[in-house]
Amino acid sequence: MDTISFKLTKEQAKLLADASKERGFPSKSEFVRYAIARALEDRLSVKTIEDIEGDKKDGAVTLPIRIGERPSAYIASVIGFLAILLSPVPLYMRLFNEYYLLVVALADITFLYAIYQILKKSPTVSSKYYKVGMFFALIAFIAGSFLK
């Protein structure tokens, strides 16, 4: 059984490919959908590390079970770092205004702490901070769209 993160990756890649062919890459709503899917995928990666014992008992086949907790944590961390590094891009693409950048900085700081926690072998704490970071990111999308 594949984890949902693999399905989201293929689904989102198709969405972005179709959007870029039709009318340019990407619209604001497409970017937000893609960013939310990526954040959910990273949080789910952390969550599967957190749930590894229960998944083993249930016979689930997840990435942490296949390759181990530490390699899975490193993969989740790399994805998180990439998201942080790419977070200013929507401002440069003029998808959002400068208020987006101010609020997304809070999300980035929260995601950094979540990454630190997963590397420190605290997936439960990391998962909670990913949720907080996703909340700040959602507020950043709203602030960058509606505040003038």
DSSP letters along 55-79, please?
HHHHT---HHHHH-HHHHHHHHHHH
How many CA atoms, within 13 angstroms, populate the side-chain half-sphere of residue 10?
5
Residue-level pLDDT at 7: 45
Q: Which CATH architecture has domain 4-146?
A: Up-down Bundle (1.20)
CA dist., res. 29 & res. 61, Å (int): 33
Residue-level pLDDT at 23: 57
Residue-level pLDDT at 12: 61
Task: Enumerate long-range contacts of 12-18, CB under 8 Å, 24 or more apart.
Answer: 12/37, 12/38
Residue 57 CB neighbours (<10 A)? 8
Query: Coil, strand, or helix at residue 41?
Result: helix
CA dist., res. 136 & res. 38, Å (int): 15
Instruction: Tell me the average pLDDT of the chain.
Output: 81
Among the listed residues 25, 17, 30, 123, the one whose alpha carbon sits nearest the alpha carbon of residue 70: 123
Read off the pLDDT band of 45 (50, 70, 90). confident
Look up residue 25 and give its DSSP letter.
S
Contact 34, 16 (CB under 8 A): yes
